[in-house]
A and B are shown apart, each in its own frame.
Chain A
Amino acid sequence: MIEKVLKGSPPFYIWLLSLGALVGLGATVYLFQLFLGLQVTGLSRDVSWGFYIAQFTYMVGVAASAVMLVLPTYFHHYKKFKKMIILGEFMAIGAVIVCMLFIVADMGQPQRVMNVILHPTPNSVMFWDMMVLSGYLVLNLLIGWVTLEAERHQVDPPKWIKPVIYLSIFWAFSIHTVTAFLYAGLPGRHYWLTAILAARFLASAFCSGPAILLLLCLLLRRLTGFDAGKEAIQTLTKIIAYAMGINIFFYLLEVFTAFYSGIPGHQHPFGALFGGGHGHPLWVTTWMWAAVVMAIVSFLLIAFPSTRDNNSILPFTLIMLVIASWIDKGLGMLIAGFTPNPFEGITVYAPSFAELTISLGIYAVGALVVSLLWKIALDVKKEAGTF
């Protein structure tokens, strides 16, 4: 099936080339980071994780969100998702690759990454995270490829793939749970030290991931004419609506616990995010309030059927939802974990130009992978008459 990528339209190759250019740019800047060290980032002694790890966390969610298509299809025999399920699985592959690249980009000694395997340490959540992410990549490659191959030959997928798919459903929940455990078990980081973090991560993933998938599907419809089906889109938007509702609810639970209990350590990170530090707003404060507004507006728009099923409003709703969840998880989550620092002081962190360029390069790798995989999937569908 791989040969499908060899026959494409000129715009497709221009798109690939532009992505390749971004990858090259990111790789070049990464070389500087490799030789100069992480001093090219905005990270510091007090804020020792930043943009890279935040993007990793966000993209684990996107990877896990494929389960929102897989679960209804295989547990509830919901047939309408059958047509687009491969897109979700292939997007998950791209997302996992992006996650792994962000982890490597964040490491001070990337050439020693195999130490995690050479000296396996089950008491470290990071060890488990590496295991579940690699496993999830293999599962999705296997499932995606086998089911697409079956679709190409217009036969049912082999029976043995069913249990693998069921496994992947549980696996998807595990990858984001383990990622939350990276944070939720650390003493002294109050913003992260919360039992609901894994649940919050999953809720945020299950609204933002499908929202990204749906946005890409809407784009695909304009570019290639591939239609996921009206009912499938409406069901997916309902899933997004529920997940977003739960996501906002969970966040408010955190706010309640912190402020009703009145425990200073639990309040300080919220104070820093939404109010700033030492009387001055931080740059992230503006972003957080923007996220609040976008979260509320997008939830209202997607909660009511009249605006949810309106095709001209939906893209804007989804974009706002994705940005809001990205600010929460891709910016606020990490900054608030390290603010205030262990000495109750505030060390300001902002990603540097190098950090942003490398991140852009990594996202471009993900986009490249998804573009190639989706091209294969759509061409197979055209051949098999399931386009």
Chain B
Amino acid sequence: MKKDRRQFLKVASLSFLGVAGSAALGPVCQAAAPGEGSFTTAKNALHAKKWGMVIDTRKFAENPELYNAVTTACHSYHNVPTIVENGMPSKREVKWIWTDGYHQTFTDQVDNYPSHEIEQRRYLMLCNHCENPACVRVCPTKATFRRKDGIVVMDYHRCIGCRYCMAGCPFGARSFNFMDPRDHIAQVNPTFPTRMRGVVEKCTFCSELLAVGKMPLCVEASDGAIAFGDLTDPESSVRKLLAENFTLRRKPTLGTEPSVYYIL
């Protein structure tokens, strides 16, 4: 059942066959027993060496309705609760992707006289899926980890709710479930789980959709304003955009190597 056990059985059965070829060992190399099935990925799954995102903030500024379209697409599909206090977003809110002002997003860009237009824009923020993620480094249970394709994900089953990752993340990308999120979800999407009280959650770069050949929901909802692709492939959409445009990343000097880029 377990991966290593399966591998052990494979190796064991082959070596035993080679040495003895005995009839008694026959059953080991027969068709898999119940529960000894194997795992694979879907044929249409999308793969990359390192997923990355380029957000064209100009297109969002031109079409401000996109902000809401993008965040709603993500939050409603992923059952992200909307926690409100006195009509305002609660200080215990949960968010995977959201917008804020220029100075809140790019805290390192302390230009005294920024372009008025750029200062007025709203900017999308989400988990940066860092190459060198502090949250992964500090997690005491490997509940948050970096996948081979660069996506930083959460295993909510394992999270002990210590919130060390929230202290570690310099981007404020993580939310903690201070209360049962189900009381704050208007319409539950039955194809995706909710989370429970006491665990941390964040953006997953829609890894569950990439596995079935779909692009992330924010990318789909952005009308071309967000590009998503392999940062290691010079021919990918993201690399082409990066080659043609001046881009910024949030807090690059901290060395976490964010995978989300912004065209200003």
Which residues of A does B touch, CB under 8 Å?
A: 36-39, 41, 43-46, 48-49, 103, 106-110, 112-113, 115-116, 118-119, 121, 123-127, 130, 182-183, 185-189, 264, 337-338, 341-345, 347
Give the 7 A-B CB pairs with smallest separation, nearest first.
A108-B161, A188-B170, A108-B198, A342-B172, A44-B91, A126-B140, A187-B254
Q: Contacts A121-B139, A121-B141, A343-B104 given; indicate if A107 touches B161 (C-beta within 8 A).
A: yes
Name the prevailing secondary structure of the B interface residues.
loop
Question: Which residues in A have their C-beta under 8 angstroms from that of B105?
Answer: 343
B137→A37 contact, CB < 8 A: no
Kindly identify which residue among A36, A103, A130, A345 contacts B179, using a CB–CB cutoff of 8 Å: A36
Chain B min CB distance to A114 (Å): 9
Contacts of A187 in B (CB 8 A): 134, 168, 170, 254-256
Chain B residues packing against A (C-beta within 8 Å): 91-94, 100, 103-105, 107, 110, 134, 137-143, 158-164, 166-172, 175-180, 197-200, 251, 254-256
Which residues on A sit within 8 Å (CB–CB) of B199?
A: 108-109
| Residues in A neighbouring B107, C-beta threshold 8 A | 342-344
Could you jot down 14 A-B contacts, CB within 8 Å? A37-B180, A37-B197, A44-B92, A45-B172, A45-B175, A49-B163, A107-B161, A107-B198, A109-B199, A119-B141, A125-B138, A127-B140, A189-B170, A345-B104
Contact call B178/A37, Cβ cutoff below 8 A: yes
Q: How far is the CA of A110 from the CA of B171 in the complex (A)?
A: 26
Known contacts A36-B179, A182-B164; 20 additional CB pairs below 8 A are: A38-B161, A39-B178, A45-B92, A45-B94, A107-B161, A108-B198, A112-B158, A112-B159, A115-B140, A115-B143, A115-B158, A119-B141, A121-B139, A124-B137, A124-B139, A126-B138, A186-B167, A188-B251, A343-B105, A344-B104
**Distance between Cα atoms of A46 and B92 in the complex (Å):** 8
A342-B170 in contact (CB<8A) = yes
Interface of A is mostly: loop
Please pick, from A116, A127, A344, A347, the residue contacting B91 in the complex, using a CB distance under 8 A.
Answer: A347
Residue contact B91 to A124, C-beta cutoff 8 Å: no
Complex Cα distance, B73 from A137, in Å, reads: 51
Note all chain B residues with C-beta closer than 8 A to A126: 138, 140, 162, 164
Interface centre among B93, B162, B198, B255 (most CB of A within 10 A): B162
Q: Which residues of B contact A116 (CB under 8 A)?
A: 140-141, 160
Q: Which of A38, A106, A130 contacts B140 (CB 8 A)?
A: A130
Considering the chains assembled together, what is the distance between the CA atoms of A185 and B110 in angstroms? 25
| Contact of A113 with B91 in the complex, beta carbons under 8 Å | no
| Minimum CB distance partner of B143 in chain A | A115
**Least CB separation from A125: chain B residue:** B138
Question: Which chain A residue has the least Cβ–Cβ distance from B156?
Answer: A109
Q: Could you say which residues of chain A place their CB within 8 Å of the CB of B175?
A: 45
Contacts of A113 in B (CB 8 A): 160
Question: In the complex, which residues of chain B have a beta carbon less than 8 angstroms from the beta carbon of A108?
Answer: 159-163, 176-177, 197-200
User: Which residues of chain B have C-beta atoms less than 8 A from A188's C-beta?
Assistant: 134, 169-171, 251, 254
Q: How far is the CA of A157 from the CA of B124 in the complex (A)?
A: 66
CB distance from A109 to the nearest CB of B (A): 4
Chain B residues near A342 (CB-CB < 8 A): 107, 169-172
- Check B141 against A109 for contact (C-beta < 8 Å): no
> Known interface pairs A109-B160, A109-B198, A186-B168. Does A115 touch B180 (Cβ–Cβ under 8 Å)?
no
Identify the closest chain A residue to B254 (Cβ).
A187
Max chain B Cβ within 10 angstroms of own Cβ: one of A48, A183, A338: A48
- A45→B93 contact, CB < 8 A: yes
**Beta-carbon contact of A37 and B177 below 8 Å:** yes
Given A38-B178, A108-B199, the answer on whether A121 and B142 have CB atoms closer than 8 Å is yes
Q: How far is the CA of A262 from the CA of B91 in the complex (A)?
A: 31
Q: What's the Cα separation between A189 and B135 when bound, in Å?
A: 13
A182 to B176: give the CA distance in the assembly, Å.
Answer: 19
A46-B172, A343-B107 are contacts. A337–B92 as well, Cβ < 8 Å? no
| Cβ–Cβ < 8 Å partners of A106 in chain B | 162-163
- Are the CB atoms of A344 and B177 closer together than 8 Å? no
Residues in A neighbouring B170, C-beta threshold 8 A: 186-189, 342
Across the interface, which residues of A come within 8 angstroms of B197, CB to CB?
A: 37, 108
Residue of B nearest to A338 (CB): B167
B179, chain A: closest CB distance, angstroms: 4
Complex Cα distance, B254 from A186, in Å, reads 10
User: Which of B93, B103, B161, B256 has the most chain A CB atoms inside 10 A of its CB?
Assistant: B161
Q: Is the CB of A119 within 8 A of B158?
A: yes
**Interface centre among B94, B143, B255, by most A CB within 10 Å?**
B143
Question: How far, in whole Å, are A123 and B165 apart by their CA atoms in the complex?
Answer: 13
For A49, A124, A264, the residue with the greatest tally of chain B CB atoms inside 10 Å of its CB is A124
Indicate the member of A43, A106, A118, A337 with the most B CB atoms within 10 Å. Answer: A43
**Docked-complex contact B178 and A189, CB < 8 angstroms:** no
Q: Given A126-B162, A342-B170, A343-B100, answer yes or no on A48-B142 (Cβ-Cβ < 8 Å).
A: no
Give CA–CA (A103, B160) in the complex, Å.
11
**Alpha-carbon distance between A39 and B176 when the two chains are bound, in angstroms:** 10
Q: How far is B136's CA from A121's CA once the two chains are assembled, in angstroms?
A: 10
